[in-house]
Amino acid sequence: MKITRLAILGVGLIGGSLALALKEKGLVGEVVGYGRSQANIDEALALGIIDVAKPTAAEAVEGADMVVLAVPLASMRPLLADIRDALSDNVVLTDVGSAKQCWVDDVLSVWDGVWPSFAVPAHPIAGAERSGAAAAKADLYVQRKVVITAHQDSADDAIQRVTDMWQATGADVRHMSVHDHDQTFAWTSHLPHLLSFALVDMFSQRSDVARLFDYTAGGFRDFTRIAASDPEMWRDIVQLNSVAISEALVAYQAQVADYLALIEAKDWDTLSVHFARARDTRDHFLGK
């Protein structure tokens, strides 16, 4: 697998790390970058993440045989419209968004309801609470999962090229339907981020917030680490996967209500059973 020209639209942690991984393996000829922040693009050039920058998205994708959209979900549709007529005949178009139905809808909207066979949705399950080109690293995807949610009209060759690209980074590539993807990650990723934001936001509104933070320990820091994530990006994720996230949040509210009822009833034995079940489930699936 060799990519002659890779166009990264949105050269941050995810797109930048992909470019570095492929460069390290000698699997890409030229990396072209485009982004809204000139400072970030300049940094990507200085760090050798991209070889050349273009002032418009349409110029960036010209002649590219692989185009990766790595921008916030809400920015996908206008960007797709910008590049549609500039894509080459042998291109494969993919993305890295953490919600997939919205990207499918965006592509269908831009292509007038007809799925382009060269388009393959994907989602690398890797990242950090920090973003930008400076955060990119070549080994980000090693032993991390990447989920491909191919459309029924995605060409087999295009699916294989996206699969090969991600496998080359050291990733464990999985395949899943769009519906199953959005349901799964509403529970495993989107809900935890929402809860982390909510806890820190709750603290922020207390008059004694400074004292509380002065006494936080490892547990609090571990749980709230992801509250340092990009608020704009997570607003878009919640907005564009709101149905599945709402279902997960309602279930979580019911669980918290059960705990509150046990505490108010002073039913410590049953509460202990709940805690033990949670511990055993985590140990079983994630290991001690």
Q: Which residues fall within 8 angstroms of residue 259, CB to CB, at 6 or more apart?
A: 271, 274
For the stretch 202-243, pLDDT in tens is 999 999 999 999 999 999 999 999 999 889 889 999 999 999
Can you give the pLDDT at residue 230? 85
The backbone region for 71, taken as left when phi is positive above 0, alpha when psi lies in -120 to 50, beta otherwise, is beta
Of 137, 160, 163, 169, the residue nearest 14 (C-alpha): 137
Can you give the pLDDT at residue 260? 98
- pLDDT at 118 > cutoff 90: yes
Our CA angle for 189, 195, 198, nearest 5°, is 140
Contact 31, 9 (CB under 8 A): no
Burial 166-204 (b: 16+ CB within 10 A, else e): bebbebebeebebeebbbebbbebbbebbbbbeebeebe
- Which regions of the chain does DSSP assign to beta strands (E)? 3-9, 28-34, 52-53, 66-69, 92-95, 119-120, 122-124, 145-148, 172-175
For the stretch 179-203, pLDDT in tens is 999 999 999 999 999 999 999 999 9
Alpha-helical (H) ranges within 68-217 are 76-83, 101-110, 156-168, 178-185, 191-204, 209-214
Helix %, strand %, coil % for the chain, to 5? 55, 15, 30
* Torsion angle defined by CA atoms of residues 228, 233, 239 and 240, in that order, rounded to the nearest 10 degrees: -130
**String of DSSP letters for 195-212:** HHHHHHHHHHTSTTHHHH
Segment 2-28 mean pLDDT:
96
- pLDDT at 257 > cutoff 90: yes
- Distance (Å, rounded) from C-alpha 187 to C-alpha 183? 7
- pLDDT at 288 > cutoff 70: no
Can you give the pLDDT at residue 165? 98
Can you give the pLDDT at residue 15? 95
Residue found under tokens 């980074």: 169
Segment 283-287 mean pLDDT:
92
- pLDDT at 1 > cutoff 80: no
Domains of the chain as residue ranges with CATH: 3-176 (3.40.50.720), 180-286 (1.10.3660.10)
For the stretch 137-184, pLDDT in tens is 999 999 999 999 999 999 999 999 999 999 999 999 999 999 999 999
The per-residue pLDDT of the chain, averaged, comes to 95
Of 46, 31, 25, the residue nearest 133 (C-alpha): 46
Can you give the pLDDT at residue 6? 98
